[in-house]
Structure 1
């Protein structure tokens, strides 16, 4: 054990590699992973300065957890590592995190109850309806995207393709009115990428974050109230009616779920679509392999899209009691940040993890978390959307040329804000 591990957190020396500051997160994924690779190679965990914060705090720092096996250990032991003290790397009062993340900031058995309540609404009938809606929406969205590509000007892949299906899916599932969809979509995207200066400056970030939260939460509570008065044959009505062990969700809780579904459920699939599309263009041999038998190969390909994208960079836990992780002493109350972006490039867990490989099997990625109680509840929905969208897109897309992507500046989401795409052979001067 490193003697520094036993020092009080307030006097413990920060690691020489800074992964907390904005300058680090302004680097591209590959450059950041060079740093994470060096951290993975070191014994034990490493101690880092708290991230810049918009809220007053007294956090002394955090432990960086960068290897798959350590993330899995923490994720599968909620008795030792709690989510109830907050799940963000950025210092933020848990009282503010809880209404924006719903049951992500809960531990079993409370977390288990809420998870069962939401799951109870996904009956086989609801799932069949959702799949039918997604298939129809995917076909329509691909038609629109291909029509956009026939023009002379480049189109933005994110706006024209990636962002459309997940928000349309969420809207259809819970009944958001068409007139409100763009407002809800913007609020969801802005919340997820709120550390990006394009949305708000550091000084205005807290107010901006809460205003977007209010839009999403109000949309959920108002819709829940309407469904209680006049139920329909839709998911929101099923959520309102769901009951487990005598418990039902309140309108406030449904509002919190709406925030989680609209932000996490929307943005993660959107970002995986963009990263997956880019990878298929960057690695044409992989695309050709997939096109040989897309029906049989898309399932595995989607897993590699998710691993490659790793749209959620991290979640955090706090130690419940004094314990040890990877030979490092961790004291009760200390924060541990689980870097899924690092886990999905961990050479000890994955063969050639820096290669985009659609034939990868097995593919034990952590794109949906490290397992345990908090494994992503919407994993099946994300996979379904990606599979149906690329099933429509792959056989029909012409040869295209991508411009440079513009990435979201965030320590939480690995996102592409904009990425120009044009048909090969069209005049690039029309940009």
Structure 2
């Protein structure tokens, strides 16, 4: 298979190179200066493929950077398909399917699987999950207070951000406590494999990614088998028993769902927590405003947490037919990449988008996707986690100062690796 450099493209690459590793090493704000230029261009811009850990024959992609265009693509699955993969980076569709399960499906297949998963979240299960979230949020913040009493810096991402979402997922589906850490690391690694801290070099990154996928898949398959033999009052039991139109999930399908739940359900909330906490410390006026009526304002604040953080940077689609976006002809089979990180800072939609504004209304962010059939299934769970966790943080945490965060290098997840805090 030819190297990327040998491939030919039907379109000229735009001079602003958003595929380069160096571009994704810039901070979020500086990257958006480039995206702002792309948003101002008539139509779409064509870009070279990113460097990939897998051999491929891709010739490039269209960058979808405006809020309106992201929503248009998201809401028309008959024009823009997910079945050939949703990754900006070139990657075999079958590997993407093992990572993202029904995200790489189109209706009606996607609809059936989404209904199967949704059926498992019964009102009783949702109440049970929320009670667990509330109790865990209280415990996590209590442990953070104890750690801060030492006077030494505490890594907020390790002590807080990563704990609640992984505990939530592990407890609601019944993962044994002894396996929490391994599953949490594997889930985090799936989204961060392109960062050299996790694996160096493209070949090593590919092996590392496949290893972590195996851990998550294996955990899901093993747990599904156990619940078929020994049902419990947990979400996994509901998942193995869910049925739509005579169809039930196989163990292998549940293993694939475990990857999606462990990575998407864990890492996105984790990253939002870190970014939102930093924003609250950096904007004390916003924190004071929120505390004036925490119960009444936290719902709207969570929307701004997610817009500001944009934990998922991009997803891709492929044109199912010849079509167009913003006047640009798109040929069937061509790849389009939806840059949520750009759409959430589009000044045609958001007044003063670089201002962290908890009273922003309306706030039509695309942090949960741009609508359509792939709108985030985990939205309710993420909102519950963020509401309970920040209620505890805002009402119990003393004044702290932040050290410099360290960020994950990725074109998929807006990640914070470490963020030290200490009591003032």
Same fold (TM over 0.5): yes
CA displacement, residues 54-112 of structure 1 (integer Å, 9 cap, x when unaligned) = 11111000000000110111100000000000000000010111111100000000000
Matched, 1:83 2:97: no
Q: What is the Cα deviation at residue 152 of structure 1?
A: 1.6
> Take 1:146 and 1:366, find their aligned partners in 2: how far apart are those partners?
34
Alignment of 1:29-40 (within 5 A): 29-40=28-39
Other-structure match for 1:400? 400
Other-structure match for 1:182? 181
CA displacement, residues 220-242 of structure 1 (integer Å, 9 cap, x when unaligned) = 00000000001001100000000
Output the aligned Cα RMSD. Answer: 0.9
Other-structure match for 1:333? 333
Q: What is the Cα deviation at residue 12 of structure 1?
A: 1.7
Alignment of 1:285-296 (within 5 A): 285-296=285-296
Unaligned runs of 5+ in 2: 1-6
> Take 1:141 and 1:95, find their aligned partners in 2: how far apart are those partners?
38
Other-structure match for 1:366? 366
Other-structure match for 2:3? none
> Take 1:81 and 1:293, find their aligned partners in 2: how far apart are those partners?
43
> Take 1:233 and 1:11, find their aligned partners in 2: how far apart are those partners?
55
Matched, 1:349 2:342: no
Other-structure match for 1:133? 132
Contact kept? 1:62, 1:334, Cα under 8 Å = yes
Other-structure match for 1:429? none
SS class of match (1:204):
helix
Matched, 1:207 2:207: yes
Other-structure match for 1:314? 314
Other-structure match for 2:418? 418
Comparing 373-382 with 393-402, which one deviates more in the overlay? 393-402
> Take 1:400 and 1:168, find their aligned partners in 2: how far apart are those partners?
25
Other-structure match for 2:158? 159
Other-structure match for 1:62? 61
> Take 1:73 and 1:158, find their aligned partners in 2: how far apart are those partners?
35
Q: What is the Cα deviation at residue 203 of structure 1?
A: 2.5
> Take 1:268 and 1:416, find their aligned partners in 2: how far apart are those partners?
11
> Take 1:54 and 1:420, find their aligned partners in 2: how far apart are those partners?
32
Alignment of 1:216-295 (within 5 A): 216-295=216-295
Alignment of 1:2-81 (within 5 A): 10-81=9-80
SS class of match (2:130):
helix
List structure 1 runs of 4+ shifted beyond 3 angstroms. none
SS class of match (1:374):
coil
Contact kept? 1:9, 1:61, Cα under 8 Å = no
> Take 2:264 and 2:11, find their aligned partners in 1: how far apart are those partners?
34
> Take 2:377 and 2:247, find their aligned partners in 1: how far apart are those partners?
19
Other-structure match for 1:150? 149
CA displacement, residues 104-132 of structure 1 (integer Å, 9 cap, x when unaligned) = 00000000000000000011000000011
SS class of match (1:244):
coil
SS class of match (2:157):
helix
Matched, 1:121 2:137: no
Other-structure match for 1:3? none
Q: What is the Cα deviation at residue 9 of structure 1?
A: 7.1
> Take 1:43 and 1:178, find their aligned partners in 2: how far apart are those partners?
53
> Take 2:412 and 2:10, find their aligned partners in 1: how far apart are those partners?
27
Q: Provide TM-score, normalisation by structure 1.
A: 0.96
> Take 1:414 and 1:238, find their aligned partners in 2: how far apart are those partners?
32
Contact kept? 1:320, 1:332, Cα under 8 Å = yes
- Label 1:9 to 1:325 Cα distance change in 2 as closer, same or farther (>3 A): farther
Other-structure match for 2:168? 169
SS class of match (1:395):
helix
> Take 1:164 and 1:262, find their aligned partners in 2: how far apart are those partners?
13
CA displacement, residues 278-335 of structure 1 (integer Å, 9 cap, x when unaligned) = 0000000000001111011100111100000000000000001111100001101000
Other-structure match for 2:4? none
> Take 1:18 and 1:75, find their aligned partners in 2: how far apart are those partners?
24
SS class of match (1:401):
strand
> Take 2:240 and 2:10, find their aligned partners in 1: how far apart are those partners?
50
